[in-house]
Amino acid sequence: MKSLEKQKIKTLNKIRLIEVEYTQILQYTSPEGQESLFYNLNEEELKQLYKERKNRKLAAFIVELYAIVEQLLYKVYPLYHDGEEYEKEEGLRRNTIHDLEIKLRPFLTFNTNTIMLSNIRNFIVHSRFSVKKAMKDEDAMRNVPVEIEESEQLFEHLIHTTKQYIMGIAEKSS
């Protein structure tokens, strides 16, 4: 199996782990899953704790999705640049994933992009660590389908588009 394919499979497996953890959070934040893990909290306090944790965890998952894609491209870069590690040019303000894509384009095709993931991740990291706040920000939500209204829908859409992005990376035929 080629190294590009190995890296893509490893990356998709990392995303699968995020999906498993996300499913667990959904289970524990549903009314049926709120059996008392915290014995000293009343029902309302427990619900609030889960709600707060869920938003932060979704934000962390989105940041992790971005990091996983970035790491994939970091690992693929030396395969097409004589083993040299990628180094971001000093003073370059461009998104790292975008810069790596530009440098890998002579060798690879990218059928989709990570603009939506990047916009939301940048808001979370640089503004507020909150998916709910990101969903209210026009710049962060640029390129997000209008039918997405809930943070869970947004996260599931990002998982889906990130997988599509990874699976769509292919070597150009010589």
Are the C-beta atoms of residues 14 and 68 closer than 8 Å to each other? yes
pLDDT on residue 36: 44
Are the C-beta atoms of residues 120 and 62 closer than 8 Å to each other? yes
Q: In sequence order, what DSSP letters do the residues of 16-68 get, joined into one string?
A: HHHHHHHHHHHHHHSGGG---SSTTS-HHHHHHHHHHHHHHHHHHHHHHHHHH
Decide: pTM greater than 0.75: yes
Tell me what the mean pLDDT of segment 57-76 comes to.
96
pLDDT on residue 40: 61
- When comparing pLDDT for 123 and 91, which is higher? 123
Q: Are strands 108-109 and 170-171 parallel, antiparallel or unpaired?
A: antiparallel
- pLDDT tens-place string over residues 8-34: 999 999 999 999 888 877 776 766 655
pLDDT at 58 > cutoff 60: yes
CA distance 69 to 66: 5
CA distance 13 to 88: 27
- pLDDT tens-place string over residues 110-158: 999 999 999 999 999 999 999 999 999 999 999 999 999 999 999 999 9
CA distance 42 to 46: 6
pLDDT at 107 > cutoff 50: yes
